[in-house]
Amino acid sequence: MLLGSLSYRKSLKTKAGGFIDAFLAEPTKTKILNQNPKPRLKHRSRNKALDWFCENGAVLRNFKLAKGYASEVPALPRDQANRNPKPTMDTPNTSSTINSSPSDTQGQPRRIAMRSCWSRVGWCLLLLIVGWVGWTRFGPQPDLSSTITVDQTSPDGQSTNDDTPIVEGSLLSRIDETTIANAAHPLDPILEVAEQALAQTDNTVADYTARIVSQARVKGNLQPEQQMDCKIRHARTEGDDPCGFSVYLKFVKPQASADQEVIWVDGWNEGNLVAHLTGWKNAMRIYLAPDSMLAMRNSAHPIMDVGFRNLLSKMLEKGKQDREHGECEVNVKRNIQIEGRKCVMLEVKHPVKQDEFEFHIARIYLDQELEIPIAYEGFTWPEEQGGEPVLQEKYFYTNLKINVGLTDIDFDPSNPDYDYPGK
């Protein structure tokens, strides 16, 4: 009985194979599945089973084409298919290769599937681009207003002037309109004061804490105002505790960046900054090159340029370059009020636009008591004749506390007061 059953199944499989191979190429113009639903083969006789395989050969053909198991072949009439010789192990079936080379037919289903896949990907990308353009153009616009006001009037409501007395013998007492008018170049008195202020900062300021309020134009677009609480330690090469320039920042505004922290120390972490995100995304420490695109996404300068000493140094460098080109105007105003601090404003203006000049107006504000720069504003030329200068960047240092005694733990991500995740 067992041998008879095996012989019967082998015969059925051989006959069905011949019909299936012949009818794999049957065209799919009619809905075969709807007209000939799949029967329960185990309850039918051998002849009816073979008839079902013949009638539904196109369904099997499409399935195999989709999987890459078969290739396109011409259809054969049913009576001719019934007369096809039965394939054996020694006689390979050649019907699947008629008028088709393996290189053309075997790769065709995969190519069709890949084209369909890439088509869907293209539509998804198009929808994302359209959505992004619509959101940036018609969605809520960022708040570009400023929270810092520069009051250029004295307490009695009158405009400030250069005759306001400054402490005798102080650094800022050495510059006035007369000094500027008698100089070989209008920038000379400004550069002299800047050099002395830089040397005084190096000698008297070891570290400080402050809140930085900044706003800059990146790739032609003015970014929303940023507020960051900072800890800054100047580099020391002498003494018992040498250290590199160190920066700690904690973002306060905008809300999307609030509570994010960034640490950079010259010579640590292979020169990379260490940052982290907030909320459920605060899962790991992020190491980035300070001048990378991601690190400078909303900034005009890398983190190693932060701090009023670097600000003063760069202004001194630009002033020396501008002295070699063309004419400029220099103005001095005293008793400028910035967050309750009295300042002296040194303004450098280039009336005529030239390729050598990076700015139209540059204003640096020096604290009258501390004699250090606490603010800077830079403007480019108006976009139209008679228009207002265009803000390029500004930086204000408020709540300034000098020489608070910062140590290495203040610039260590493992500080328990910080919100960095574990290594």
Task: Compute mean pLDDT per 10 residues along the chain, 423 residues long, and list them.
Answer: 44 50 45 46 50 55 50 47 47 46 56 75 84 66 62 52 53 77 87 89 93 90 91 86 92 89 93 91 91 85 92 87 82 88 90 85 90 91 88 93 94 94 81
- Residue type for position 273: L
Q: How many CB atoms lie within 10 A of CB 216?
A: 19
State the DSSP code for 85: P
Q: How confident is the model at residue 144, as a pLDDT?
A: 55
What letters, b where the CB count within 10 A reaches 16 and e where it falls short, cover 267-281?
ebeeeebbbbbeeee
- Residue type for position 420: Y
State the DSSP code for 408: G
Q: Which residues does 48 contact at the CB level (< 8 Å), separation at least 6?
A: 39
Kind of pairing, strands 273-276 and 207-218?
unpaired
The structure tokens 């369904």 sit at: 59
Q: How confident is the model at residue 299, as a pLDDT?
A: 83
Q: Would you identify the CATH topology of the domain 150-411?
A: outer membrane lipoprotein receptor (LolB), chain A (2.50.20)
Q: Bridge partners of 152? A: none
Q: Indicate if the alpha-carbon torsion angle 6, 11, 14, 20 is positive or negative.
A: negative
User: What is the distance between the alpha carbons of residues 347 and 359, in angstroms, rounded to a whole number?
Assistant: 12
**Residue 36: both structure tokens together:** 């000939």
Q: How confident is the model at residue 370, as a pLDDT?
A: 87
Phi, psi of 37 (to 5 degrees): -60, 150
Closest by CA position to 250, among listed 269, 263, 268, 233: 263
Closest by CA position to 249, among listed 305, 202, 201, 197: 305
User: What is the distance between the alpha carbons of residues 342 and 336, in angstroms, rounded to a whole number?
Assistant: 5
Q: How many CB atoms lie within 10 A of CB 200?
A: 14
Phi, psi of 340 (to 5 degrees): 85, 0
Q: How confident is the model at residue 280, as a pLDDT?
A: 87
Q: How confident is the model at residue 306, as a pLDDT?
A: 93
Q: How confident is the model at residue 82, as a pLDDT?
A: 46
Kind of pairing, strands 329-338 and 286-288?
unpaired
